[in-house]
């Protein structure tokens, strides 16, 4: 089976990370897997066994997802967008997938509708036509008006065989964040949560007893890092480690190191062994994206979440409120966050101790492979 996954991450790398986890599951099952990524390069992510094609890259202008920038920070013009669309269509036609998966679209990435629709049209013209599936996380950004939900449903009816919902319906059904009509309900396939295998503890026990602070792959996490430095001053017997990512990480690390002074803080770039460090950590401080939340659930690490809520974003806040019902998890809204509140919250979750860990419900990638295979077999 030949599988094509199309994904564009515009702020941070969570969407690409989840798409690659799906890709690795297809590879592990013996399928040829081709990932087309339209976001900024993310060489720290694992693409083992897959072919990866990078389109001319885009990122959002902060939280303005309608203003798209190139790698050098200029606004992407019509010619740039046309080149992306042409490269994506060529990838579809030349690879000729049996299964094509679009990550988030058509529930999001409306600013990229032109290239996604071009790819969907190219797939529909193929003989045989590939099984076409959407791929969405547990919680979506709710549509700002009914017409957006209606348009997404129309595109699904016209082009898609189904939508993979990477959640447990009994825990977080899609209608928590998105209006689900009877027609759409019939197209949904709940897979369980998409996560890599639980991390084994780090062989060198790096992170032992530390507070690990991570905040995605872009500048929106800088206020969290600054608050963490202030919080660390109030906990002099506890070491804090700040892991900074993104295209401008070098400059942001330099700015943060100037703030550290005598605080018990290490500031360094994001690490590929971050997940292996979590089981050793005293606590985690982070936003509450899908992948990060699953890391915390799989390791049982005490955690303080500061959900990303700029630009009317509600996805992370909804997820964080759900998780805060569990032991050793607290939530601080970004608008009220400061060093004092953060230090107090970290102290409380550490005192609450690690949670019990379940290995159930995290096989969404394998279940996605099973669903795709079944739909293809029905077609044949």
Question: What's the confidence (pLDDT) of residue 204?
Answer: 94
Among candidate residues 313, 329, 312, the one with its CA nearest the CA of residue 321: 329
Name the β-bridge partners of 103: 135
Q: Is the pLDDT of residue 216 over 80?
A: no
Q: Is the pLDDT of residue 318 over 80?
A: yes
Task: Identify the CATH number of the domain defined by range 2-195+361-379.
Answer: 3.40.50.2000
Which tens digits make up the pLDDT trace of 93-145? Answer: 999 999 999 999 999 999 999 999 999 999 999 999 999 999 999 999 899 89
Q: Is the pLDDT of residue 261 over 80?
A: yes
Share of the chain above pLDDT 90, in %: 82
The domain limits of the chain are: 2-195+361-379, 211-352
Is the predicted pLDDT of residue 359 greater than 90, yes or no? no
Distance CA 107, CA 153 (A): 9
Predicted confidence band at 346 (pLDDT cuts at 50, 70, 90)?
A: very high
Q: What is the pLDDT of residue 56?
A: 97
Please indicate, yes or no, whether the overall pTM of this predicted structure exceeds 0.85.
Answer: no
Q: Does 309 have pLDDT greater than 90?
A: no
**Residue 220 predicted with pLDDT over 90:** no
Which residue, 248, 266, 269, 246, is CA-closest to 257?
266
319-341: average pLDDT: 94
Q: Tell how many helices (H) and how many strands (E) occur in the chain.
A: 12, 15
Judge whether 239 and 263 are in contact, CB under 8 Å: no
Write down the mean pLDDT value for the chain. 94
| Alpha helices, DSSP H, located in 135-270 | 146-159, 182-185, 222-233, 249-260
Query: Spelled out in words, what is the top-level CATH class assigned to the domain 211-352?
Result: alpha beta
- Determine the average pLDDT of the residues in 79-101: 98
Which of these ranges, 61-65, 193-197, 231-235, 270-274, has the smallest mean pLDDT? 61-65
Q: How far is CA 25 from the centre of its chain?
A: 16
Q: Closest Cα to residue 38, out of 75, 4, 84?
A: 84
CA distance 330 to 87: 44
pLDDT tens for each residue of 281-306: 999 999 999 989 999 999 999 999 99
Which tokens go with 37?
A: 């990524």
Residue 314's pLDDT is 86
Among 168, 163, 202, 199, CA closest to 360: 168
Q: What pLDDT does residue 151 have?
A: 97
Model pLDDT for residues 141-171, shown as the tens digit of each residue: 899 899 999 999 999 999 999 999 999 998 8
Helix axes 78-95, 113-125, angle to 10 degrees: 30
The CA-atom distances, in angstroms, between 173 and each of 46, 86, 191, 222, 291 are 29, 36, 11, 32, 17
Average confidence (pLDDT) over 356-360? 78
237-256 tens-digit pLDDT: 999 999 998 878 899 999 99
* β-sheet bridge partners, residue 35: 5, 52
Distance CA 242, CA 284 (A): 10
For 294, other C-beta atoms within 10 Å of its C-beta total: 22
More confident residue, 13 or 260: 260
Handedness of CA 328, 331, 336, 338 (dihedral sign): positive
pLDDT band at 358 (very low <50, low <70, confident <90, very high): confident
Show contacts of 369-374: CB within 8 Å, 24+ apart.
369/25, 369/26, 369/29, 369/31, 371/133, 371/162, 371/164, 371/189, 371/191, 372/1, 372/3, 372/26, 372/99, 372/101, 372/131, 372/133, 373/1, 373/29
DSSP tag of 298: H
Q: Are domains 2-195+361-379 and 211-352 of this chain identical in fold? A: yes
- pLDDT value of position 12: 81
Quickly state the pLDDT bin for 218 (edges 50, 70, 90): low
pLDDT of residue 111: 95
> Where is pLDDT greater, at 62 or 254?
254
pLDDT at residue 355 tops 90: no
């Amino acid at each position: 089976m030949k599988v094509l996954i199309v994904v564009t991450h515009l702020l941070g790398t969570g969407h690409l990370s989840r798409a690659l986890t799906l890709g690795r599951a297809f590879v592990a099952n013996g399928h040829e897997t081709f990932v087309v990524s339209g976001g900024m390069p993310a060489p720290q992510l694992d693409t083992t066994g897959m072919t990866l094609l990078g389109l001319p890259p885009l990122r959002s202008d902060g939280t303005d997802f309608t203003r798209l920038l190139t790698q050098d920070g200029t606004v992407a013009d019509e010619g740039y967008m046309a080149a992306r669309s042409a490269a994506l269509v060529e990838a579809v036609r030349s690879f000729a997938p049996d299964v094509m998966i679009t990550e988030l679209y058509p529930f999001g990435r409306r600013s990229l509708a032109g290239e996604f629709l071009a790819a969907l049209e190219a797939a529909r013209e193929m003989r045989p036509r590939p099984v076409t599936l959407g791929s969405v996380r547990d919680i979506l950004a709710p549509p700002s008006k009914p017409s957006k939900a209606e348009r997404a449903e129309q595109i699904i009816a016209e082009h898609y065989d189904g939508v993979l919902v990477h959640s447990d319906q009994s825990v977080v059904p899609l209608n928590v964040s998105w209006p689900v009509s009877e027609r759409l309900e019939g197209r949904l396939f709940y897979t369980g949560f998409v996560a890599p295998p639980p991390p084994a503890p780090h062989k060198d026990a790096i992170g032992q007893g530390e507070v690990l602070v991570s905040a995605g792959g872009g500048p929106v996490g800088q206020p969290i890092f600054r608050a963490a430095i202030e919080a660390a001053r109030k906990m002099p017997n506890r070491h804090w480690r700040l892991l900074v990512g993104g295209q401008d990480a070098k400059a942001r690390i330099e700015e943060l190191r100037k703030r550290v002074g005598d605080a018990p803080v290490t500031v360094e770039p994001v690490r590929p062994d971050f997940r292996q460090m979590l089981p050793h950590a005293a606590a985690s401080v982070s936003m509450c994206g899908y992948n990060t939340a699953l890391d915390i659930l799989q390791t049982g690490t005490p955690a303080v979440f500061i959900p990303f809520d700029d630009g009317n974003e509600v996805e992370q806040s909804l997820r964080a409120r759900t998780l805060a019902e569990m032991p050793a998890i607290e939530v601080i809204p970004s608008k009220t966050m400061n060093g004092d509140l953060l230090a107090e919250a970290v102290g409380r979750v550490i005192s609450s101790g690690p949670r019990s860990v379940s290995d159930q419900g995290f096989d969404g990638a394998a279940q996605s492979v099973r669903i795709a295979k079944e739909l293809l077999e029905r077609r044949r």
